[in-house]
Amino acid sequence: MRLLLLLLAAIASLSCFAEEQAWPFDQSPNVAAITQRQVLYEKAAILLVSHDAEDHGWQFLTGSIPPSSGNAAVAGMEQLVRIDPSLKEIADLPVGWRAHRERVGAKWVREKKSK
């Protein structure tokens, strides 16, 4: 019985480890990120992503519509990845960098943000 309990505990810890490894971003899935209303409500494509140096926060923007207080929105990281799973491709974007692309499905171009 004791061996069975140890085995179950080991399996449970491996399962938790696998779930943690599946999330690729440096912020938790429930952490708020900046986005735009067009992304959330009009299904606009995310073509510009910024990993901010100031607070390590993330911004997921259209790249074609200038961000403003009138179109700003907040969403959980996981919600944004559900909207566009290809965001996982830039999950390792360093702090202080941004990535952009021409269209969904195009290759992300990474660059260090100028100060």
**Number of separate domains in the chain:** 1
Say if 54 falls within a structural domain: yes
Say if 78 falls within a structural domain: yes
- Please report the DSSP string for 9-67 in residue order: HHHHHHHHHHHHHH--SSS-TTSEEEEEHHHHHS-----EEEE-TTT--EEEE-SSS--
**pLDDT grade for 114, boundaries at 50, 70 and 90:** confident
Residue 12 has pLDDT above 90, yes or no: no
Q: Which amino acid appears at position 72 of this protein?
A: A
| Of the candidates 71, 77, 24, the residue with the CA atom closest to the CA atom of residue 44 | 71
Domain containing residue 52: 27-112
Say if 103 falls within a structural domain: yes
For the stretch 22-75, pLDDT in tens is: 899 999 999 999 999 999 999 999 999 999 999 999 999 999 988 888 999 999
**pLDDT grade for 7, boundaries at 50, 70 and 90:** very low
Q: Give the separation between CA 13 and CA 69, rounded to whole angstroms.
A: 43
Whole-number pLDDT of residue 4: 44
Say if 36 falls within a structural domain: yes
What is the residue-averaged pLDDT of the chain? 87
Say if 21 falls within a structural domain: no
